[in-house]
Structure 1
Amino acid sequence: MFENLKEQPADKILALMQMYRDDPREQKIDLGVGVYKNAEGITPVMRAVKAAEKRIWEEQQTKSYTGLAGDPAFADAMIGLVLDGAVDRDRIAAVATPGGTGACRQAFELIRMANPKARVFVSDPTWPNHLSILNYLGMETVTYRYFDSETGGVDFDGMMADLKDAHPGDVVLLHGCCHNPTGANLNMVEWQEVVNLINENELVAMIDIAYQGFGDGLDEDAAATRLVASSVSECLIAASCSKNFGVYRERTGLLMAISDKPEQTKLNQGTLAFLNRQNYSFPPDHGARVVATILNDPELRADWAAELEEVRQSMLGLRQQLADELRRLTGSDRFAFLAQHRGMFSRLGTSPEKVARLRDDFGIYMVGDSRMNIAGLNQATVPILAKAIVDAGI
């Protein structure tokens, strides 16, 4: 049997991580792996997470299974965080999942069950796990233009032109705040135009959101997701807690299915629970319980929000420092878009060959499409990166 297995494509991020580890140079910079790092290069456990875990350790009486949908307190807390009443609770079915990737997987499974002919429109670029799962499930995908390498912003006209080719029942996979790997985001006027197109063409919206609080603030970052969810008849939202709560390894996510009819919610909820049962039965609970504990305790929530704001401001400061240093070195504003991007990532918009030169000549590791993790920098390494970008002819 096993001799029939075929070699699977290597994960580019994991391969890049191994190359970085094997590089003997002392001066090297890892901008590939998508985790937040502080100035010391550490991905810290947040203060509120430690406090919540201590409370759970002291008070928890059992490790028995939760329900198929996970702890209801977690679902309610996350729905409040992401939507804040933008959609009536009786229209929302929700299940806990193993991280945001698990939520996406369950969402794609649900789409395939509900409408096997549905095509999923994905941005160019999108995250590799989107395409990998969709291809594995045999679902048809269509790309729409998103990133403009010349401006470093969104090619909105191209995006809208491509989405107009979607048929009724097709799904448009959208990125919540800071989520597209390029760092470029739509503004609220553009989001409204996307909503109008979805409604006019009878499409289904799906939003992947994992970085709420990393851009302009918790509520500001959720505004687009709330607009979409409250304006369309059906919507799927895959939410992750890995980044903004720093619980990466706990695999903590939530999938929401929103319909325009409250009577549909019961069927949606049962279907999501069924899908959980088929894939992993009961979802992980520890991270979900930590998040629910934080969000439902005013003191812990305030401390979490304060530390998250420190993280946000740190990344904004690094962005501005990098844009300023590149302006000083080049005498131009052609890298000003880096300060306008939001979240952990930015895409330089250069060739794989020049990315390879950054790695080979300067010890700077980023993904081949020039996506880099801004949180992998600190004040001391920003000038090193800026000089390397100029010296590499980017």
Structure 2
Amino acid sequence: MLSNLKPQDPDKILALMGEFKADTRQGKIDLGVGVYKDPTGHTPIMRAVKEAERRLLETETSKSYTVLAGEPAYRDAMAKMILGDLYDASRIASLATVGGTGALRQGFELARMGSPEMRVFYSDPTWPNHTSILKWMGVEAISYRYFDSATRGVNFEGMKEDLAKAKKGDVVLLHGCCHNPTGANLTVEQWHEVAEIIAKTGATPMIDLAYQGFGDGLEEDAQGTRIIVSRIPEVLIAASCSKNFGIYRERSGILLALTDDAKARDLTQGAMAFLNRQTFSFPPDHGARIVSTILGDEGLTADWKAELEEVRNGMLAIRAQLAGELRELSGSNRFDFIETHRGMFSRLGATPEQVELIKRDFAIYLVGDSRLNIAGLNTDSVPILARAIIDAGI
């Protein structure tokens, strides 16, 4: 049986990680993997996380299973953080998942249970695992125009035309903020237009909210999601705690489903618990308890928000420095889009050949589509990257 298995295409980002590790050159720079790093190249544990873990160590009395849907305190705290004043328990079904990826997978499975013939509309480009999961599930996936390679901004007219083709029973997958891989985001006004279009089609929006707090701020980054929720009766939200709490390896995610009424909520909650049971039974709990401990304590919440702001502002400073270096070297403002993008990523618009040249000649590793991780840079490496970009003819 096992000898009949077919070789699988390697994940390009994971393959790039392996190539970087094997490179023996001094001063090599990893801008590929999507993990936050501080100026020393280290992914730190946040202060509030350390304190929450200390408290858990002292007070936790059991390692028995939690409930199938995950600990209620975690699910409620995350729902309130994401939805703000729109939080309404009578509308919300929720599910603790194995990271944000698990939330996406369970969200797609939930949607297919309710609409077996669904199609999923996704942005072009999008995070590659979106389309990989949908392909494995056998779900029809249709791209909508999103990124304008010429302006490095959003092709909003194209996006609107393509989203209008969705219909009731379909899912429209949206990036809540900090678009991956481009860094180009919708404006508040554009979010309102997108909500209106989706409402007219009758499709169900599903929002991937992996980077709340990494863009314009914790509240600001939830604004697009809240606009959709305020306008459309059924919404799916897949969120991750990996980035904003820095607990990547704890695999803490959540799926929220906003429903029409309490009856639909109860049906959805039951279906969600069923999906967890069929997939991995009980969700991991340590990371979830870290999050609920932080969000349930005013002092820890304040410290966490302060450190999250330090992280966000640090990335904005790197963006400004890189745009400034490139402005000086190129004698033009054609790279100013880097400063206006938000989150960990920007897409340079380079060819695969130019990306390969930068890797070969400068030991700088980007994803093949020219996505770079801003958080992989520091004040010393920015000038090196800027020179490489210019010398590569980008």
Same fold, TM exceeding 0.5?
Answer: yes
Matched residues, number: 394
Whole-Å separation in 2 of the counterparts to 1:167 and 1:256: 22
Query: 235-244 or 81-90, which moves further after superposition?
Result: 81-90
The residue that corresponds to 2:368 in the other structure is: 368
The residue that corresponds to 2:264 in the other structure is: 264
Alignment of 1:332 onto 2:335: no
Whole-Å separation in 2 of the counterparts to 1:345 and 1:387: 19
Q: Do 2:80 and 2:87's aligned partners in 1 also have CA atoms closer than 8 Å? A: no
Whole-Å separation in 1 of the counterparts to 2:343 and 2:4: 43
CA shift at 1:119, angstroms? 0.3
Deviation string 1:69-95 (CA, Å, 9 cap, x unpaired) is 110000000001100131422100001
Whole-Å separation in 1 of the counterparts to 2:73 and 2:321: 41
The residue that corresponds to 1:247 in the other structure is: 247
CA shift at 1:182, angstroms? 0.5
The residue that corresponds to 2:47 in the other structure is: 47
Structure 2, unpaired ranges of 5+: none
Whole-Å separation in 2 of the counterparts to 1:274 and 1:20: 41
Counterparts of residues 122-271 of structure 1 (less than 5 Å): 122-271=122-271
The residue that corresponds to 1:111 in the other structure is: 111
Q: Do 1:87 and 1:229's aligned partners in 2 also have CA atoms closer than 8 Å? A: no
Deviation string 1:297-326 (CA, Å, 9 cap, x unpaired) is 000000000000000000000000000000
Q: Give the 3-state SS of the residue equivalent to 1:85 in structure 2.
A: helix
CA shift at 1:223, angstroms? 0.7
Whole-Å separation in 1 of the counterparts to 2:85 and 2:118: 29
The residue that corresponds to 1:63 in the other structure is: 63
Whole-Å separation in 2 of the counterparts to 1:35 and 1:317: 18
Q: Give the 3-state SS of the residue equivalent to 2:90 in structure 1.
A: helix
CA shift at 1:262, angstroms? 2.0
Whole-Å separation in 1 of the counterparts to 2:123 and 2:352: 20
Q: Do 1:87 and 1:230's aligned partners in 2 also have CA atoms closer than 8 Å? A: no
Whole-Å separation in 2 of the counterparts to 1:243 and 1:160: 30
CA shift at 1:341, angstroms? 0.3
CA shift at 1:112, angstroms? 1.2
Deviation string 1:42-75 (CA, Å, 9 cap, x unpaired) is 0000000000000000000000000001100000
CA shift at 1:169, angstroms? 1.7
The residue that corresponds to 1:393 in the other structure is: 393
Whole-Å separation in 2 of the counterparts to 1:132 and 1:344: 22
Q: Give the 3-state SS of the residue equivalent to 2:257 in structure 1.
A: strand
The amino acid that maps onto 2:158 is: G
Give the percent of matched residue pairs that are identical in Structure 1 and Structure 2: 62
Q: Give the 3-state SS of the residue equivalent to 1:208 in structure 2.
A: strand
The residue that corresponds to 1:20 in the other structure is: 20
The residue that corresponds to 1:323 in the other structure is: 323
Q: Do 2:245 and 2:291's aligned partners in 1 also have CA atoms closer than 8 Å? A: yes
CA shift at 1:180, angstroms? 2.7
The amino acid that maps onto 2:250 is: E
The amino acid that maps onto 1:177 is: C
CA shift at 1:33, angstroms? 0.6
Whole-Å separation in 2 of the counterparts to 1:180 and 1:38: 20
The residue that corresponds to 2:350 in the other structure is: 350
Q: Give the 3-state SS of the residue equivalent to 2:165 in structure 1.
A: coil
Alignment of 1:307 onto 2:307: yes
Give the structure-2-normalised TM-score.
0.99
Q: Do 2:98 and 2:251's aligned partners in 1 also have CA atoms closer than 8 Å? A: yes
Alignment of 1:10 onto 2:3: no
Counterparts of residues 84-103 of structure 1 (less than 5 Å): 84-103=84-103
CA shift at 1:351, angstroms? 0.8
Q: Do 2:259 and 2:265's aligned partners in 1 also have CA atoms closer than 8 Å? A: yes
The residue that corresponds to 1:280 in the other structure is: 280
CA shift at 1:179, angstroms? 3.4
Whole-Å separation in 1 of the counterparts to 2:361 and 2:81: 44
The amino acid that maps onto 1:77 is: A
Q: Do 2:79 and 2:87's aligned partners in 1 also have CA atoms closer than 8 Å? A: no
Query: 221-230 or 83-92, which moves further after superposition?
Result: 83-92
Query: 183-192 or 78-87, which moves further after superposition?
Result: 78-87
Q: Do 1:77 and 1:295's aligned partners in 2 also have CA atoms closer than 8 Å? A: yes
The amino acid that maps onto 2:96 is: A
Whole-Å separation in 2 of the counterparts to 1:114 and 1:233: 15
Deviation string 1:331-384 (CA, Å, 9 cap, x unpaired) is 100000000000000000111111111111111101000001000000000000
CA RMSD of aligned residues (A): 0.7
Whole-Å separation in 2 of the counterparts to 1:67 and 1:52: 21
Whole-Å separation in 2 of the counterparts to 1:236 and 1:318: 33
Q: Do 1:179 and 1:208's aligned partners in 2 also have CA atoms closer than 8 Å? A: no
CA shift at 1:226, angstroms? 0.8
CA shift at 1:27, angstroms? 2.0
The amino acid that maps onto 2:108 is: F
The amino acid that maps onto 2:285 is: D
CA shift at 1:151, angstroms? 0.6
Q: Give the 3-state SS of the residue equivalent to 1:334 in structure 2.
A: coil
Q: Give the 3-state SS of the residue equivalent to 1:94 in structure 2.
A: strand
The amino acid that maps onto 1:370 is: S
Whole-Å separation in 2 of the counterparts to 1:179 and 1:75: 24
The amino acid that maps onto 2:159 is: M
Whole-Å separation in 1 of the counterparts to 2:262 and 2:189: 29
Q: Do 1:179 and 1:210's aligned partners in 2 also have CA atoms closer than 8 Å? A: no
Q: Give the 3-state SS of the residue equivalent to 1:237 in structure 2.
A: strand
